[in-house]
Structure 1
Amino acid sequence: MKEPNLTDYAKLYQQFDWQYVRSQLAGLPNGKGLNIAHEAVDRHASGDLRNKVALRFHRKKENVEDYTYGDLKTQTSKFANLLHGLKLKEGDRVFSLLGRVPDLYIAALGSLKFKAVFCPLFSVFGPEPIFQRLSKGDAKVLVTNTSFYEKKIKGLLNRLPSLDFILLTDSSDDLDMKALSLTKLMEEASGEFIIPSTDPEDPALLHFTSGTTGMPKGALHVHQAVLTHFATGKYVLDFQKGDIFWCTADPGWVTGTSYGIISPLVNGVTSIIDEEEFDALRWYSILEKQKVNVWYTAPTAIRRLMRMEIVPKEKYDLSNLRLVLSVGEPLHPGAVSWGQKAFGVPVLDNWWQTETGGIMIANYRSMEVKPGSMGKPLPGIIAAIADVEEAEIKIYDQPENQGHLVLKKGFPSLFRGYLHEEERYKKCFKGNWYISGDLAKIDKDGYFWFIGRADDIIKTSGHMVGPFEVESTLMKHPAVVEAAVIGKPEPSIGELVKAFVVLKEGFEPTDDMRQELIGFARKTMGPAVAPKEISFIESLPKTKSGKILRRLLKARELGLPEGDLSTLEKG
């Protein structure tokens, strides 16, 4: 077993310097700055790793498709050149709506080469969530397939005046002046591209995250974030020379971009990508056949595996597996212990957010694991527990105090803004601290423990769902006058989305109406984010100012204390 990259946490944490991390990356030739695609692809393709497999795709029919670092350099250069041919400008937004197929990864890295801003969307989204993100993100180009174009995009075009081109991955010919054949454009493009001068602060990635008080917010990250991707790959994921890595997350989620694309490539390892959704036996087979060393997955998947009567290490040869990691929501202690028994290695939890761009707090291979704990901050990250309610932030200096989890500004991957929402962005900070919105505590040994969320974000099957987004969709149905949405604990998926609906006069709260509304939401939003339960209610609890008290609905649903009702509107 190879020695961990991080052997002495305390020493590294004390001595850590982001400039040293920067010195381990190449930078663009002739001092022209720092570009994610150069660090992830071109510098390897120009050296000893040119013929090493960078991405290995397991397609739906189980055939395997390999791309070496050399292949990636050529293909991503072609994509960058075709963006130039379409007369895009640096900073323009390129979106993708695809499953985990090669075109998505080539588009992501090619966009970064060109210095466009790349934004991946979940392929399970329905038309309305897609419209909200394309519109708010000022999308210039969308990369998708013919089926998604016909079913989800075509009807939106008259509402998306800034969307200049749709690039179709599976069409050999252009459909019209706007819907173009990506295959044709790639064939015509040159495989040589010189990455332009890139300031580390140039925008690179856009990821939407849902909020409870408004529509999805677009978190903007810069090319300098690659320092965090590199450092966390080395110290948390413990990438070693020759490693085979597998991140199961979809790039529509920030984990699938930061750790499904960038981090493994920057660290020069081979990354496995499975086009299919969760399938336990298929997953175990891939772990065995591909001799995966490091596996990064989600609590939802781990819980589903736990329900099966299989001890994987007894049925499959998992002797190459060195590390299993999890992210998305807190991993309960039983799952950590189960991982030790099932795989022969513990499942290491870690914590971060769309806004932080990379792992901030983690359990490490070389450190004692306290099952259920988030772990300790990444070297280079200053995390604390604080009271954020007063004019000035108050940092708790004693262990076991519960409060807001805050991070000190200054690390490379911290988001640089919410697109078009400067005031919303400013509210995330107080002084030199970023307020995460999560509640936590620190024990006497410096381990962080997640307590709960300070807002109403729902985490379901690895997806982040904002109540407002679901409520807005339900209220488009002619029978609905009001709606409120909460997350209801469901062990298999974390939380399920539950809606409370007030019907308009003349509509009856029947089982048929309930199924109609669920079907309406699934069709509009996609099954991943639509409510799975609906209860009819005569009126929603609100404050005097008109704010819906979702916490009160949740308390009543779960039989918990209702808390302070002094602001409740009487009615």
Structure 2
Amino acid sequence: MPSTTFHEQWSAAVAGHGDRLFLLFRDDHAINAYSYEEFDQVVAETAGTLRAAGVGRGSCVHLALANCPAFVATWLAAARLGAWIVPADPASTARDIASQVRRIRPAVALCAAARADAYHAGAAGAVPVVVELAETAADVAPGGPLSHGEPVTAAVAGVGPSDRLAVMFTSGTTSEPKGVVLTQENYHTVGAVMAAAVGLRPEDRWLVTLPLFHANAQYYCFAPAIATGAAVALTHAFSASRWARQADELGATHASLFAAPIRMILARCGSELPPLRLRHVWFAQSLGEQHYERFAAIIGCRPRQLYGMTETIAAVTGDTSVPLRHDVIGEPLGDREIAVVDPVNGGPAATGTPGMLRVRGVRGADLFAGYLDDPETNGRSFTDLPDGTSWFTTGDLVAADADGRLRFVGRLDDVIKVSGENVSLTEVESVLAQAPGVLEAAVVARADPTRDVVPVAYVVPRDAGAPPDLAALADWATGNLPPAARPREWHLIAELPRTSVGKVRRFRIGSA
């Protein structure tokens, strides 16, 4: 029976594609390139360094790093050692660090030297070994901080598919973060499934500008590249103004983004752009039609919307329309089994009516294993079946059209009833982001004595020095939104509170 560990998937890529390019890393100063064989040596030395520091099978390694080769090497080294990583936002406060360290009890932590004070303040001596890194190629160079100890060239005894490989804390857009437990088999599965979903080839190259400590870059870019022997072009951080030029410079054929970074690219990329010819671009979250068409013109292909969560491992759905559209998340990918149910009575949701999305799979394989130390939430989220599969309730609302194509509506709390009519705050936001003078917008619900609740808009100007007139925006909304969806109040705001991948933390708006 073929192995289903992530380590073996990496080893197979090295054996089959050793001399092919694996990683291009672009920081502010240079581009560094590594073949699969060269990076495997980096992984072996990193694993040796971690083992010498006390990491073994079942140990936790805490990563507070921006995008860099050391992050990738530690992830793969942990798979080899049977250890597990917890990626943290590198800009985490001492309070955030303290909360995670208390929950995960890491044996070793890797953090940026430039932000080490915050890490040490949060860890407060609770982490036995803290390695400070530059977040450059020097971290993994011979003689660097990750090249100490005897290299580990093979997996330690007993490493198996069900071994924990990571815990990723969710973004916390509507609540406090939950720890999503991921196995070796989870990463093996997502690599194979997402590579097949885009027809990935060894000659392809993913552009990764989103942060590696979240699922998108790991699931949709790195894992399928490893499963296929393709390459990844990694930037240290996302830059809206440089994104298109980086895609050209690094020879990208594939990319994955959220709607918010796409809107930022459109606002800041300038007019003199290289002629990009990307083969495939995933995007998630709502994108207005005008923004969709403008971005498609820049990248040279029509982006394809998907839907997935950290918990669902591979994407659940993807658009299959011809041509691809801006407003649907499509149909189940591959062998995915879904159900769209009425959030009140649990029965099938009617066509066109928002319903709760549920996904069926195997925990620890094509669904996450569970939430860290949280049996109560696990009990609410999973319905385990006698055949070993489980239904996972996503908490997201979707609506199916007559052809079965799904449209993303939002989280359950993102849909409000205005005088009895359903209004998706997510959809209103995507429309308002296209209004003249608007960079982006967030919409929240406010209690109303006659309509139950009404939408209220918070708008970020495209030009802070010349913000849009709010009365003019209200007039524009009258011509572009149905009556129930039109905001009853308008506010200008300097920026929206966001997670590190651009999701709006709506619960924080207006609370200051």
Report if the CA contact (8 A) 1:407-1:434 is conserved: yes
In structure 2, C-alpha distance between the alignment counterparts of 1:154 and 1:192, rounded to whole Å: 32
- Taking a change above 3 Å as real, the CA distance of residues 332 and 426 of structure 1, as seen in their structure-2 partners, is farther
In structure 2, C-alpha distance between the alignment counterparts of 1:401 and 1:213, rounded to whole Å: 23
In structure 1, C-alpha distance between the alignment counterparts of 2:504 and 2:115, rounded to whole Å: 18
In structure 1, C-alpha distance between the alignment counterparts of 2:202 and 2:222, rounded to whole Å: 17
Q: Tell me the TM-score normalized by structure 1.
A: 0.68
What one-letter code is carried by the residue in structure 1 that aligns with 2:356?
Answer: H
- Taking a change above 3 Å as real, the CA distance of residues 113 and 404 of structure 1, as seen in their structure-2 partners, is same
What is the correspondence of 1:337-376 to structure 2 with a 5 Å cutoff? 337-364=293-320, 367-376=322-331
Please point out which of 212, 227, 246 is paired with 1:266: 227
Q: Does 1:75 align with 2:31?
A: no
- Taking a change above 3 Å as real, the CA distance of residues 182 and 91 of structure 1, as seen in their structure-2 partners, is farther
What is the correspondence of 1:286-305 to structure 2 with a 5 Å cutoff? 286-305=246-265
In structure 2, C-alpha distance between the alignment counterparts of 1:423 and 1:533, rounded to whole Å: 26
Could you say what secondary structure the match of 1:445 adopts?
coil
In structure 1, C-alpha distance between the alignment counterparts of 2:77 and 2:442, rounded to whole Å: 36
Please point out which of 51, 57, 60 is paired with 2:28: 60
Q: Does 1:51 align with 2:6?
A: no
Q: What is the deviation of 1:303?
A: 0.9
What one-letter code is carried by the residue in structure 2 that aligns with 1:288?
Answer: D
Q: Tell me the TM-score normalized by structure 2.
A: 0.75
In structure 2, C-alpha distance between the alignment counterparts of 1:182 and 1:351, rounded to whole Å: 43
Which residue of 1 is the match for residue 56 of structure 2? Answer: 89
- Taking a change above 3 Å as real, the CA distance of residues 215 and 342 of structure 1, as seen in their structure-2 partners, is closer
Number of equivalences: 433
In structure 2, C-alpha distance between the alignment counterparts of 1:423 and 1:331, rounded to whole Å: 35
Q: What is the deviation of 1:325?
A: 1.6
Q: Does 1:208 align with 2:174?
A: no
Which residue of 2 is the match for residue 449 of structure 1? Answer: 407
Could you say what secondary structure the match of 2:264 adopts?
helix
Could you say what secondary structure the match of 2:326 adopts?
coil
- Taking a change above 3 Å as real, the CA distance of residues 342 and 146 of structure 1, as seen in their structure-2 partners, is closer
Which residue of 2 is the match for residue 405 of structure 1? Answer: 357
What one-letter code is carried by the residue in structure 2 that aligns with 1:240?
Answer: R
Q: What is the deviation of 1:300?
A: 1.3
Could you say what secondary structure the match of 1:189 adopts?
coil
Deviations 1:10-37, CA, capped at 9 Å, x for gaps: xxxxxxxxxxxxx8xx63xxxxxx3213
In structure 2, C-alpha distance between the alignment counterparts of 1:123 and 1:528, rounded to whole Å: 17
Report if the CA contact (8 A) 1:233-1:264 is conserved: no
What one-letter code is carried by the residue in structure 2 that aligns with 1:439?
Answer: L
Report if the CA contact (8 A) 1:79-1:189 is conserved: no
Higher mean C-alpha displacement, 116-125 vs 258-267: 258-267
Which residue of 2 is the match for residue 13 of structure 1? Answer: none
What one-letter code is carried by the residue in structure 1 that aligns with 2:248?
Answer: E
Q: What is the deviation of 1:532?
A: 12
Report if the CA contact (8 A) 1:145-1:170 is conserved: yes
What one-letter code is carried by the residue in structure 2 that aligns with 1:300?
Answer: A
Which residue of 1 is the match for residue 369 of structure 2? Answer: 416
Which residue of 2 is the match for residue 154 of structure 1? Answer: 120
Which residue of 1 is the match for residue 76 of structure 2? Answer: 109
What is the correspondence of 1:96-175 to structure 2 with a 5 Å cutoff? 96-150=63-117, 152-158=118-124, 161=126, 163-170=127-134
In structure 2, C-alpha distance between the alignment counterparts of 1:188 and 1:213, rounded to whole Å: 43
Unaligned runs of 5+ in 1: 1-22, 28-33, 172-180, 458-486, 499-517, 538-571
In structure 2, C-alpha distance between the alignment counterparts of 1:493 and 1:187, rounded to whole Å: 47
- Taking a change above 3 Å as real, the CA distance of residues 310 and 535 of structure 1, as seen in their structure-2 partners, is closer
What is the correspondence of 1:424-439 to structure 2 with a 5 Å cutoff? 424-430=377-383, 432-439=390-397
Q: What is the deviation of 1:494?
A: 6.0
What one-letter code is carried by the residue in structure 2 that aligns with 1:415?
Answer: F
Report if the CA contact (8 A) 1:373-1:449 is conserved: yes
In structure 2, C-alpha distance between the alignment counterparts of 1:78 and 1:354, rounded to whole Å: 29
Which residue of 1 is the match for residue 290 of structure 2? Answer: 334
Report if the CA contact (8 A) 1:382-1:407 is conserved: yes
Report if the CA contact (8 A) 1:247-1:259 is conserved: no
Could you say what secondary structure the match of 1:56 adopts?
strand
In structure 2, C-alpha distance between the alignment counterparts of 1:110 and 1:408, rounded to whole Å: 31
- Taking a change above 3 Å as real, the CA distance of residues 182 and 305 of structure 1, as seen in their structure-2 partners, is same
In structure 2, C-alpha distance between the alignment counterparts of 1:306 and 1:123, rounded to whole Å: 26
What is the correspondence of 1:461-500 to structure 2 with a 5 Å cutoff? 491=433, 492=439, 495=442
Q: What is the deviation of 1:372?
A: 0.5
Unaligned runs of 5+ in 2: 136-141, 385-389, 416-427, 434-438, 446-492
Q: Does 1:306 align with 2:274?
A: no
What one-letter code is carried by the residue in structure 2 that aligns with 1:147?
Answer: A
Could you say what secondary structure the match of 1:400 adopts?
coil
In structure 2, C-alpha distance between the alignment counterparts of 1:60 and 1:343, rounded to whole Å: 23
Report if the CA contact (8 A) 1:236-1:363 is conserved: no
Deviations 1:45-100, CA, capped at 9 Å, x for gaps: 223x1111101001112x11011111221111222223322333322211111111
Q: What is the deviation of 1:217?
A: 1.0
In structure 2, C-alpha distance between the alignment counterparts of 1:184 and 1:286, rounded to whole Å: 28
Report if the CA contact (8 A) 1:57-1:274 is conserved: yes
What one-letter code is carried by the residue in structure 2 that aligns with 1:39?
Answer: Q
Which residue of 2 is the match for residue 543 of structure 1? Answer: none
Which residue of 1 is the match for residue 183 of structure 2? Answer: 222
Report if the CA contact (8 A) 2:54-2:108 is conserved: no
Q: What is the deviation of 1:488?
A: 8.7
In structure 2, C-alpha distance between the alignment counterparts of 1:382 and 1:182, rounded to whole Å: 49
In structure 2, C-alpha distance between the alignment counterparts of 1:298 and 1:533, rounded to whole Å: 20
Percent identity, aligned pairs only, is 18
- Taking a change above 3 Å as real, the CA distance of residues 211 and 170 of structure 1, as seen in their structure-2 partners, is closer
Q: What is the deviation of 1:193?
A: 3.2
Q: What is the deviation of 1:530?
A: 9.0
In structure 2, C-alpha distance between the alignment counterparts of 1:349 and 1:361, rounded to whole Å: 9
